[in-house]
Amino acid sequence: MVYSKTDKDFVKMKKGCILLSWTGIVVSVIAVSIFLTAVCGAALVKLPKDTGEARADIITIDSIKIFGKLERSPVNFFHQKHTAALDKKNQSCSACHLSEDNRMSYLYMRLKNTTRQDVMEIYHTGCIACHRETAAAGEKSGPVTCGNCHRDKTTVRSSWQPIGLDKSLHYRHVRANQEKCELCHHQYDEVTQKLFYAKGKEGTCRYCHLDKAREKTISLRSASHLQCIDCHRQKQSKNENAGPITCGGCHDQTEQEHIEKVKVIPRMKMNQPDFVLVKTFNKEIGESNPTPRMDMVPFNHKAHETYNDTCRVCHHADLDACVRCHTVQGSKEGDHVKLEQAMHRLNASQSCMGCHESHQSDPNCAGCHSSFENKRQQDSSACKNCHMVPRALVSGEAGQADQKKIAAATLEYREAVTATYDNEVIPETVMIGTLMNQYEPVKMPHRKMVVAMVDNIKDKKLANYFHHEKGTVCQGCHHNSPATETPPRCANCHGKPFNPKEPFKPGLMAAYHRQCMECHRAMGIEKPVETDCKACHRERG
């Protein structure tokens, strides 16, 4: 369906949509630019307008900027090209990198940055001398003049892609190292000022090693290169199977696609619970155990581990319970984000509702959840999807073990809805005659559409458990009516013509077109297209 060009609702809405669309595009471009700048920083070169050679090993040498403004353009250094040249000469990384305590420094010919002049001289002396020596031997070499290194423009673009240990790659490391977690995981002892292994408290490197270095803690980039490459080098020196030591080996997209994926990954052994009741108080900070305003939320921890590829989806700061930082009243450790806010924030991916909301962008779900009508306020019954009445298994005060059993029993008692009403109840077709003065009535294949929507989500557990009534799927179109076999018609709410006293309620014709067209767009349905009125409407003779 499409709008009639004479419909005032359509004209007003179309102008607004065009303005919002261009605004969204501009904002998106700016946001992406800011994100890439923040993530990549100086480690990558800027992408040129032309499409030159793509490399994953481009490193921007701009070390002296920590001492002040750069006088000349940074140097774009091709790391993998240099390591290949050294390999031909049977030289190792030590030709450019010093080591201390059996650990190689990622800095060039130094262990730390001292002064601006010292760092400049290290690069100028070492690089130029090597290039001249190579050229004197009759071999292809690099530049020896200022302008050939410090270039304002480059035709080479970066193809660098981030990489991390997903569950498959992590398990391969665990298996290869015979479950010796201490080879990678460590903590820092403030008293002894040394690293130590805390068994059972292993967490992601990102919890301590952040994007930027802090006092006594190097950045994630530095830590991963020192730890990973050093380990790979040592294994290769012993003729053992090891991971890559070149930039492209990890950060080239084509190479990443060839990384072996383990099909069956055993569960991590972290003493984590299978089921748990989400706590609302924190004994560690002396909080009392107040009577909760709602039933506690039973949480299937084991199932969520299989749904996600990393624990950081929820545990973004450490592996402790959420309530340790996000208390009922808010605390400094949790950036004063209260527990209720942490669980219900729609714009935070670590939030329960924020994560669930992100799944609604799936094309099979987006038709109902991404439409403009989905922005309505949910009624209080929606809270009971998570805050369920517990199934008590024991009498008296329940201990921690009993709470786990109660959580498991409560979730087991929950019923999944994978179907809707019987076909006999669902009208096979619905005739829409809003534009009968200009077009023939639209014959909508109502039952076919309902069956297709239900079939698309039958294997989605999230939808099945949250669509707790057979008529929930009907509310995607009948958005302000209860779930029932006989929902009211659109005309019961949307008047013809548009009522100016209710500016947020479109007229009947606009309501039909917005609902149908936005659903088709969100679900990726190509036909009928918006510019083809006759795809839905037969013109009257």
Report the alpha-carbon distance of residue 106 to residue 109 in Å, rounded. 9
pLDDT for the residue numbered 289:
62
Report the alpha-carbon distance of residue 24 to residue 41 in Å, rounded. 25
- Number of helices and strands (H, E) in the chain? 17, 12
Topology of the domain covering 275-365+386-409: Cytochrome C3 (3.90.10)
Q: Would you say the C-alpha torsion 383, 387, 389, 391 has a positive or negative sign?
A: positive
pLDDT for the residue numbered 281:
77
CB 470 within 8 A of CB 450: no
Q: Would you say the C-alpha torsion 39, 346, 312, 195 has a positive or negative sign?
A: positive
Write out the two tokens for 52. Answer: 């030159």
> Tokens 């030159």 label which residue?
52
Count Cβ atoms below 10 Å from residue 306 Cβ, excluding itself: 11
Amino acid at site 191? V
Among the listed residues 175, 148, 167, 526, the one whose alpha carbon sits nearest the alpha carbon of residue 363? 526
Q: Note down pLDDT in tens along the chain; length 541 residues.
A: 333 444 444 334 444 444 334 344 333 333 333 333 333 333 344 444 445 789 999 999 999 999 999 999 999 999 999 999 998 999 988 999 998 877 788 899 999 999 999 999 999 999 999 999 999 999 999 999 999 999 988 888 899 999 999 999 999 999 999 999 999 999 999 999 899 999 988 999 999 999 988 888 989 998 998 899 889 988 998 999 899 989 999 999 999 999 999 999 999 988 899 999 988 877 766 666 667 778 889 999 999 999 999 999 999 999 999 998 998 889 999 999 999 999 999 889 899 999 998 998 899 999 888 755 454 445 667 788 899 988 876 545 555 568 888 999 999 988 899 999 999 999 999 999 877 778 889 999 999 999 999 999 999 999 999 888 899 999 889 988 888 999 999 988 898 888 888 888 899 988 998 888 888 888 988 777 667 888 888 888 7
- The reply to whether CATH 1.10.287.70 applies to domain 8-28+415-535 is no
pLDDT for the residue numbered 44:
41
Q: Is 444 helix (H, G, I), strand (E, B) or coil?
A: strand
Superfamily covering domain 167-257: Cytochrome C3 (3.90.10.10)
* pTM across the whole model: 0.75
Write out the residue limits of the CATH 3.90.10.10 domain(s) in the chain.
8-28+415-535, 54-158, 167-257, 275-365+386-409
CB 144 within 8 A of CB 35: no
Amino acid at site 35? F
Write out the two tokens for 494. Answer: 């949307």
Report the alpha-carbon distance of residue 412 to residue 153 in Å, rounded. 62
The gap from C-alpha 245 to its chain's centroid, in whole angstroms, comes to 27
Give CA separation, 291 vs 223, 288, 341, 389, in Å: 45, 10, 18, 14
Give CA separation, 158 vs 51, 56, 246, 468, in Å: 10, 6, 15, 49
Q: Is the bond preceding residue 497 a cis peptide, omega within 30 degrees?
A: yes
pLDDT for the residue numbered 6:
42
pLDDT for the residue numbered 228:
92
Q: How open is the CA angle 407-454-458, to the nearest 5 degrees?
A: 45
- The reply to whether CATH 3.90.10.10 applies to domain 54-158 is yes
Among the listed residues 271, 267, 304, the one whose alpha carbon sits nearest the alpha carbon of residue 167? 267
Report the alpha-carbon distance of residue 6 to residue 439 in Å, rounded. 14
pLDDT for the residue numbered 24:
41
> Tokens 């009968």 label which residue?
436
Report the alpha-carbon distance of residue 21 to residue 518 in Å, rounded. 14
Radius of gyration over alpha carbons of the chain, in Å?
Answer: 30
